[in-house]
Amino acid sequence: MVDVAAVDIGGSRLKAAIVRSDGTHELARTLPTPPDLEFRLGEVVGDVVAGLARDLGRPPAAVGLAAPGLVDDTRALGVFSANLGWRALDLRRPVAMATGLPVAVGHDVRAGLLAECWLGAATDCSDVAFVPIGTGVAAALLVDGRELVAGGFAGEIGHVVVVPDGPACGCGGRGCLEAVAAAPAIARA
């Protein structure tokens, strides 16, 4: 069985675990997402992966890194994240250098969709809309058994204006769905 260090970068929390090839996981960790993560990505993820490897008693075979915002999976690039304030961030290289492991990069919500289709409530579904609500709001779509990506823009619903002249959003706009319906907005209501 292959062990992979799965790391999910969130707007407020970074979650990590060892995930086996059968989908089971152990050694989960959660820590606050550092405000300067874009400058310390390799260091922070490297430390988390090293801790997981230490507790596991061996290094994982690879790192799977899920990131929020617009993510170019092919180039492993964090194109833009309103919640974390980064643009054009290389997500693979700093983590690979810090861990010495192969690193696969993907969009956090698309990764959640794939997990739900593999192990969760959507295992036998060919059409799925996966819409988690957290620090941000996004969706991932499976249509006729195929994931819609559209250059990373499919499912990016968080920055659709739903309240003209509404509250300020992290993207610089006003009245975005994320500004009125993400977890921080719900907590303020």
CATH code where residue 25 lies: 3.30.420.40
pLDDT of residue 82: 86
Verify that 100 and 162 share a domain, yes or no: no
Verify that 17 and 95 share a domain, yes or no: yes
Verify that 88 and 10 share a domain, yes or no: yes
pLDDT of residue 118: 94
Verify that 65 and 103 share a domain, yes or no: yes
Q: Is residue 117 part of a domain?
A: no
Verify that 141 and 105 share a domain, yes or no: no
Confidence of residue 83 (pLDDT cuts 50, 70, 90): confident
How many whole angstroms separate alpha carbon 82 and alpha carbon 141?
A: 21
The structural domain count of the chain equals 2
pTM of the model: 0.90
Share of the chain above pLDDT 90, in %: 86
Verify that 46 and 80 share a domain, yes or no: yes
Confidence of residue 67 (pLDDT cuts 50, 70, 90): very high
Of 62, 77, 110, which residue constitutes the final position of a domain?
110
Verify that 13 and 106 share a domain, yes or no: yes
Of 60, 82, 110, which residue constitutes the final position of a domain?
110
> Domain span at residue 132?
124-188
Q: Is residue 167 part of a domain?
A: yes
Per-residue pLDDT reduced to its tens digit, 133-164? 998 999 999 999 999 888 777 888 999 999 99
